[in-house]
Amino acid sequence: MDQQSAKEIDTLRAEIVQLQERVRTLDAASKEAERAKTEYVQNIAHQLAAPINAIKMNIETLTNPKVSLERKQVLLRSIYSQGTILAHLIKNFSLMSHLEADHELTGFREQPEDVDLYRLCVNLSNDFQPVGKYKDQAIYVEESEYKIAGFPTVFVIKNLFTQVIYNLLENATKYADANTRIVIGLRTSAQMVGPTIKSLGIPIPKEAITRIFERGVRGDSARKLHPAGTGFGLYIAKRIMEIHGGSLTVEPSGKSSTFIVLCPKKKG
Amino acid sequence: MNKKTILFADDELHYIEALIAVAEAEGYNVKTCRNATDALRIVAGGGIDCVVIDIMMDPGPDLPKVEPHSAGLAAIDRLISKGDHPPIICLSVISDQKIINALKKKGVLYLRKGETSLKKAWDIIQSKITGIYHAR
């Protein structure tokens, strides 16, 4: 074998070693992706199974003659609340694919309409009262703030905008401490208007202010408090606000966090 | 006869309120908590006749090295390692047969949320307390 061939063989050998290394890296990455996918699907399954099962069990309890009428009324309200939550949850999953693409408002089947912010917030807070009740959380809408602003309306796709407030209220009831108030206020500026959701619970560190809106990201303490969760809620909410020309931000202050939803004010 | 007490440890109590309603209607005292540490502390305080515990929940301050995905399992192990403990029923959504079999070996009954009907879940909880199972 001449010197030239020996050199070529060495080069090829080195390339093979490199390729083997590359295969190992890719294999590890694919296993990691597979693991993440399994975890994600399990999370979705858990999130869907829990409310459906609660509804089933509540209905079963309604037929139990030993359970008091008052208790049954509570269970009925809870069925309604779980049903609403379930519908929103499913919507979150279906919205994910929609929002991944760079959609504009016109890309959605539903048309934007005038939505009375106060009424929407009151309705949604009522949906969440039974959930908050278990942690003795009360959800308040600061009527006075809406009154001062003349009960503003926003021009949005109602279904999508509802999903934003829903996701924020879901987080608030999930992560706020027991025995606290979740307060829905109003923020206005020259060009923008929208609700704020303030709650007291696990602190959001300053360095996480932007990260928590990223797809699939859940804060360490959020994960600790509630292991199941997709990390989609805030991402979806922010995307929805962006396609409306608005914004979603958070102002943390110690244990208190205020999420600020802003929509452009209607012109004219 | 003194009322028997059941402890429900679940981070999402609103999902099991039907079970709680039935337990109370059947004349039991009900205690609830939302993390594994509280569950252990309440049992340690005594007077608990049955523990119904979820798997995925906040471990709480007494279990700092425990993952939330298995905090309930860690609490169960602690209860068992202490020897004298009330009957334990694990009520969760997981379907991993390895985990379920491991629980069985430890004498912990596993009920799957979404699969076990309320009636069956309640009959089993009651049988763990009274030692009598009424098949219906």
Contacts of A139 in chain B (CB under 8 A): none
pTM of the model: 0.70
How far CA A27 is from CA of A13, A31, A39, B124, in Å, comes to 21, 6, 18, 46
Contacts of A82 in chain B (CB under 8 A): 14
Q: Which residue has the higher pLDDT, A41 or B3?
A: B3
Per-residue pLDDT band at B45 (split at 50, 70, 90): very high
- Which of A45, A64, A135 minimises the CB distance to B25? A64
Q: What is the pLDDT of residue B56?
A: 86
- Which of A50, A61, A131 minimises the CB distance to B93? A50
Q: What is the pLDDT of residue A194?
A: 96
Walk along chain A (268 residues) in steps of 10 and give the mean pLDDT of each run. 85 94 93 81 76 88 93 90 84 74 68 93 89 83 95 92 93 87 94 95 83 76 64 86 93 92 82
Task: Classify residue B68 by its DSSP letter.
Answer: G
How far CA A158 is from CA of A110, A217, A220, B69, B125, in Å, comes to 8, 26, 32, 36, 45
User: With 90 as the cut, is the pLDDT of residue B40 above it?
Assistant: yes
Give B34→chain A minimum CA distance, Å: 9
Give B44→chain A minimum CA distance, Å: 23
Contacts of A56 in chain B (CB under 8 A): 114, 117-118
Q: What is the pLDDT of residue A35?
A: 83
Inform me whether the C-beta atom of residue A49 falls under 8 Å from chain B C-beta atoms: yes
Q: What is the pLDDT of residue A103?
A: 62
CA terminus-to-terminus distance, chain B: 25
Q: What is the pLDDT of residue A25?
A: 93
- Which of A75, A134, A135 minimises the CB distance to B18? A75
pLDDT tens-digit readout, B55-111: 988 888 999 888 878 899 999 999 999 888 999 999 988 878 899 999 999 999 999
Give B106→chain A minimum CA distance, Å: 24
Contacts of A74 in chain B (CB under 8 A): 17, 21
In sign, the C-alpha dihedral spanning B59, B61, B67, B71 is negative
Q: What is the Cα–Cα distance from A112 to B71, expressed in whole angstroms?
A: 45
Contacts of B14 in chain A (CB under 8 A): 54, 78, 82, 130-131, 133-134
- Which of A45, A49, A60 minimises the CB distance to B117? A60
